């Protein structure tokens, strides 16, 4: 597959990504949750991508894209736009591959994510989310340095990399002798959900992937209804700082509109309560943007009774202050 002609990735691309990520990405577990199963009447598993390298699934897609950059091109480095989790994924992949990385990051990105990106060796270039165009800034850097742009979601290699989350879910369920009924993952640009859907539908054609979004940033839900890519009203302001993409990606939407089985959403207060629930009952640190699917399940918006359901916790890079605010809901 050529970077100049992006196309829809397939389950075979996910298999190839899994080979590239072997021994590099953390093989995250599928953890049965007695308490969620009791609360919902279903058989509920958690896929904690919080335990992934850099604390979110983003490393998978970034590495799968970047390891395919030809050795002679690596010295020029990479550039990426991200408010934090993709930034860390790209930075960690660049460090492993010995490449320089520049991240174009909004000035209102969480300080923790900024600090962790820099700690991984990347250079961070700030911009104003309202008045500046991050894509133009990144394009200028790419042109100046000859650096390769690593998109956060709308790239077949990135989607295939994220799909390894779904491939691992399939492997673990097959080993347990179980079929998958529902898998729900949080969506911003939709890369994680698209990758997961490709992988799980290849093995469980009747499985229902469900997109989870913040209530006021439900571009996927509205796009599924209208059939075209709708935009969110605001460029920022969600409690879920990881889920601020303005609209579904072009490639990801092609996959998601065909393969997903619907969308659910949760309010900021419901997400905060889910973060606190994960602290108290699951003992897993989840960031707001990583807890929307869990919040929707806890609110009864994902039909789980008598079903095998996998909830993906997509990231755990939450600042102590934000975490404290969530725990106050207890």
Binding residues for its own copies (CB under 8 A): 26-29, 31-32, 34, 48, 50-51, 53, 55, 279, 281-286, 316, 320, 323-324, 327-328, 330
Query: Which residues does 46 contact at the CB level (< 8 Å), separation at least 6?
Result: 30, 31, 33, 36, 282, 284, 310, 311, 313
CA 284, 289, 290: angle at the middle one, nearest 5?
A: 35
Nearest-approach distance from CB 279 to its own copies, in angstroms: 6
Nearest-approach distance from CB 24 to its own copies, in angstroms: 9
What secondary structure does DSSP assign to 61-121, as a single string? HHHHHHTTS-GGGGGG-EEEE-SSHHHHHHHHHHHHHT--EEEEEETTS-HHHHHHHHHTT
Nearest-approach distance from CB 313 to its own copies, in angstroms: 9
- By C-beta, is 12 or 26 nearer to its own copies? 26
The residue written with tokens 């699951």 in the block is: 282
Reference 99, options 124, 67, 77; nearest CA is 77
- By C-beta, is 19 or 72 nearer to its own copies? 19
- By C-beta, is 285 or 295 nearer to its own copies? 285
- By C-beta, is 28 or 265 nearer to its own copies? 28
Nearest-approach distance from CB 185 to its own copies, in angstroms: 17
For residues 198 and 192, what is the distance between their CA atoms, to the nearest angstrom? 10
Reference 149, options 4, 247, 314, 9; nearest CA is 4
Nearest-approach distance from CB 320 to its own copies, in angstroms: 4
- By C-beta, is 82 or 314 nearer to its own copies? 314
């Amino acid at each position: 597959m050529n970077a100049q002609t992006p196309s829809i990735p397939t389950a075979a691309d996910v298999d190839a990504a899994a080979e590239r990520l072997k021994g590099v990405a953390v093989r995250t577990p599928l953890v049965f949750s007695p308490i969620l199963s009791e609360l919902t009447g279903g058989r509920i598993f958690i896929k904690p991508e919080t335990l992934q390298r850099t604390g979110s699934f983003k490393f998978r897609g970034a590495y799968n894209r970047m390891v395919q950059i030809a050795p002679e091109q690596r010295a020029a480095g990479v550039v990426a736009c991200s408010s934090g989790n993709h930034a860390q994924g790209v930075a960690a992949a660049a460090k492993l591959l010995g490449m320089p990385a520049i991240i174009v990051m909004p000035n209102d990105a969480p300080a923790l994510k900024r600090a962790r990106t820099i700690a991984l060796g990347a250079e961070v270039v700030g911009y104003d989310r309202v008045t500046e165009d991050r894509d133009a800034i990144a394009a200028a850097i790419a042109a100046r340095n000859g650096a390769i742009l690593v998109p956060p979601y709308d790239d077949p290699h990135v989607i295939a990399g994220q799909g390894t989350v779904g491939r691992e879910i399939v492997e673990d369920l097959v080993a347990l002798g179980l079929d998958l009924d529902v898998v729900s993952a949080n969506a911003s640009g939709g890369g994680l959900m698209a990758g997961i859907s490709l992988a799980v539908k290849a093995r469980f054609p009747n499985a229902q992937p469900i997109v989870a979004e913040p209530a006021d940033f439900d571009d996927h839900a509205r796009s599924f209804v209208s059939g075209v890519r709708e935009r969110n009203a605001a460029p920022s302001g969600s409690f879920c700082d990881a889920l601020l993409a303005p609209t579904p990606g072009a490639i990801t939407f092609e996959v998601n509109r065909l393969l997903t089985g619907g969308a659910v959403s949760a309010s900021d207060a419901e997400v905060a309560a889910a973060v606190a629930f994960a602290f108290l009952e699951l003992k897993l640190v989840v960031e707001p943007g990583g807890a929307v699917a869990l919040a929707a399940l806890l609110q009864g918006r994902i039909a789980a009774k008598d079903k095998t359901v996998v909830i993906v916790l997509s990231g755990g890079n939450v600042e102590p202050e934000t975490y404290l605010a969530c725990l106050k809901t207890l």
